[in-house]
């Protein structure tokens, strides 16, 4: 279609004419046809045209339009025409014989047990009965891995009959029980400082100074230290209380003296120390037990004067007494200091806020003084009593309902006694506690006692 501006389909040109064209295969433009402006001129070589298999003079005729034959592989163990999994027909993989069936027999080496091994020839499903014939095992003979029959065990000797109620056991059992009981009691006496003369007197020749020692915990401590062999100087604020305590302890054969002392007053503290030096010539032990609690109720309602009094007696006086006695302990080659704090220092008592805070301060005082005093040969520790039945704590246990409520809150089943605390104080003052420094031992019957 000439003059339409569209290039028409041309007749096929023989391969020989295209290959021998002077332009290298370029096809001549038809006469009178103008190239379209929107269609660029594309070179003949870059135009796509279908491949003609007849136009491949370089390939032989045998390779035209024919599939490639399979390439044989030498010694191919799995030929593709056959089943690739036919291993039994492959000479390189001979067939594996089937495994024999698993069989069980009864282990005749141990007739007392129900052990079985994997020995032929009883089939797996055959019932195993006591009448089954024994079959020799292929394993070498070995000692029987079981206990001998019960008939060959020796018969244990018959235990002696228990003695009647109220009668002390005799024979070997009675002697062993008495021996261990005596050893246990002797050990407790050695730790606590009690016992007969020249037996467990761990504080023999020591001089002990105990404050607030005419009642309750202080009196029990003075009694225990005196029983351990120490010479005791006790103190209190009232003369008649001092005289009564001294008379009571001397009646027990203890070496005790007394002096009036208000530990909150500096002059009284100095007089206490000087009296001990004048009476016994030395000071080896200090037990600071004095404490006050003038108020109960809301902590925010406590007046400043009450705070000052509580800390003056409970904290400051204890620190000042330690300061006074340590130089005299150094002259003796060492000593022991015990501060009586309270479990309230760990778990504050209700309505006893300032008192509880002062006892917490004593815990810190022990930790602060421990390294300083250790360098001077003096050990300092503390004891923290729980709810002890004394006149000082009567407001907490005299009322039965209040006592039960407080015991439930503290997790205890009974009230403590002054002697419970005195035993621990005696231990801390004795050589048995020579490796205990800067610690607070809680005597509270199980009351939670750690910050």
Catalytic residues: 355
Q: Alpha-carbon Rg of the chain, whole angstroms?
A: 54
Exposure letters 370-393 (e unless 16+ CB within 10 A, then b): beebeeeebbbbbbbbbbbbbeeb
Rounded Cα–Cα distance for residues 188 and 192 (Å): 6
414-417 LR contacts (CB < 8 Å, sep 24+): 414/445, 415/387, 415/388, 415/389, 416/385, 416/386, 416/387, 416/388, 416/389, 416/443, 416/444, 416/445, 417/220, 417/388, 417/389
Angle between helices 171-192 and 418-429 (to 10 degrees): 70
Direct distance between the N- and C-terminal alpha carbons of the chain, in angstroms, rounded to an integer: 110
439 CA to centre of own chain: 21
* Total residues found in the chain within this entry: 451
Rounded Cα–Cα distance for residues 422 and 429 (Å): 11
Residue 238: burial class (beta carbons within 10 Å; 0-12, 13-18, 19+): exposed
Q: Which of 372, 379, 295 is nearest to 329 (CA)?
A: 379
Residue with tokens 């089937």: 98
**What three-state secondary structure class fits 137?**
coil
């Amino acid at each position: 279609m000439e003059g339409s501006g569209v290039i028409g389909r041309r007749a096929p040109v023989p391969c020989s004419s295209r290959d021998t064209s002077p332009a290298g295969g370029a096809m001549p433009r038809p006469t009178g046809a103008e190239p379209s402006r929107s269609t660029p001129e594309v070179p003949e070589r870059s135009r796509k045209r279908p491949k003609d298999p007849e136009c491949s003079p370089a390939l032989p005729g045998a390779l035209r339009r024919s599939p490639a034959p399979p390439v044989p592989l030498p010694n191919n163990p799995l030929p593709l025409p056959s089943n690739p999994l036919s291993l039994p027909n492959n000479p390189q993989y001979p067939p594996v014989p089937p495994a024999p069936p698993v069989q069980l027999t009864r282990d005749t080496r141990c007739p007392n047990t129900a052990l079985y091994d994997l020995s032929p020839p009883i089939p797996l499903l055959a019932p195993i009965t006591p009448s089954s014939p024994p079959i020799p095992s292929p394993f070498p003979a070995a000692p029987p891995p079981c206990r001998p029959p019960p008939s060959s065990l020796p018969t244990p000797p018959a235990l002696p009959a228990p003695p009647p109620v109220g009668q002390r056991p005799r024979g070997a059992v009675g002697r062993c029980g008495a021996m261990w009981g005596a050893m246990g009691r002797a050990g407790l006496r050695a730790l606590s400082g009690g016992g007969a003369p020249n037996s467990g007197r761990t504080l023999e020749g020591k001089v002990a100074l105990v404050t607030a020692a005419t009642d309750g915990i202080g009196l029990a401590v003075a009694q225990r230290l005196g029983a351990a062999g120490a010479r005791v100087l006790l103190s209190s604020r009232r003369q008649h209380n001092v005289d009564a305590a001294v008379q009571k302890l001397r009646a027990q054969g203890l070496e005790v003296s007394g002096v009036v002392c208000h530990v909150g007053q500096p002059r009284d503290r100095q007089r206490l120390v000087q009296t001990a030096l004048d009476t016994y010539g030395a000071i080896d032990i200090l037990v600071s037990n004095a404490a006050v609690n003038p108020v109960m109720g809301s902590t925010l309602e406590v007046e400043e004067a009450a705070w000052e009094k509580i800390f003056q007696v409970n904290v400051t006086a204890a620190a000042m007494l330690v300061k006074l006695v340590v130089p005299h302990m150094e002259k003796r080659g060492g000593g022991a200091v015990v501060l009586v704090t309270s479990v309230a220092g760990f778990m504050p008592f209700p309505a006893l806020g300032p008192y509880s805070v002062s006892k917490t301060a004593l815990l810190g005082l022990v930790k602060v003084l421990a390294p300083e005093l250790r360098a001077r040969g003096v050990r300092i520790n503390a004891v923290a009593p729980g709810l002890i039945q004394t006149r000082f704590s009567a407001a907490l246990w005299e009322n039965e309902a209040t006592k039960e409520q407080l015991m439930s809150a503290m997790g205890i089943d009974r009230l403590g006694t002054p002697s419970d605390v005195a035993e621990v104080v005696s231990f801390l003052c004795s050589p048995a506690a020579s490796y205990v420094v800067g610690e607070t031992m809680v005597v509270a019957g199980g009351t939670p006692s750690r910050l």
